[in-house]
Amino acid sequence: MAAPDPQVAPPAAAAPRDKGRTPSRVRTLGALVIVAGAILIVLGGVTWFLVRSELSDEQITVSDDASFLEGRHVDDPLSAYFEAHAIKAQALAATEGTTYAELPLDDPARQTVVIASFLRATLFTSLVAFGVSALSVGLGIVLILIGFSLRMIGRDQAATLRPALEPRV
């Protein structure tokens, strides 16, 4: 087998070209992650305000016997939560502490408990929607930070590889 000729350049010329594309790919990925984060923030904000608007349109006020926020207009997660608990307390008071499953089938209080359960479920659904929209905004912020970090990493890689890509004299 013949020894490699020291005058012939090794086929390493292709490697810097491939490495040269890596920073641009990292920067492109960073830009895509930033865009995804921005979309999540916008969608989360729209969802939050849509749920708030719909809940506010119902003109619900936190009951006077609630443990917190009594008399406040229900249009946010906290007021919805405390009104749901007030409804539960009122339903239990109407049935003397008996739940729906424990009431006899012919008890007229069953209808009151059914309505209370429906109202509570509706309020808790709005809580879930508020939570998901807040999660979306938070995740969007994290994605934007990750995207900017990726773009900086790509820029730093490009600066490191630039001397390797320049022709040798």
Confidence of residue 166 (pLDDT cuts 50, 70, 90): low
How many angstroms separate the CA atoms of 103 and 120, rounded? 19
Q: Which residue has the higher pLDDT, 16 or 30?
A: 30
Residues in the chain: 169
For 58-108, where are the alpha helices, taking DSSP H only? 77-94
pLDDT-based confidence at residue 156 (cuts at 50, 70, 90): confident
Q: Does pTM top 0.75 for this prediction?
A: no
The better pLDDT of the pair 48, 157 is held by 48
Q: Does residue 124 carry a pLDDT above 50?
A: yes
Task: Report which residue type is found at 116.
Answer: A
**Which residue type occupies 44?**
G
Using one digit for the tens of pLDDT, what is the confidence trace for 27-49?
899 999 999 999 999 999 999 99
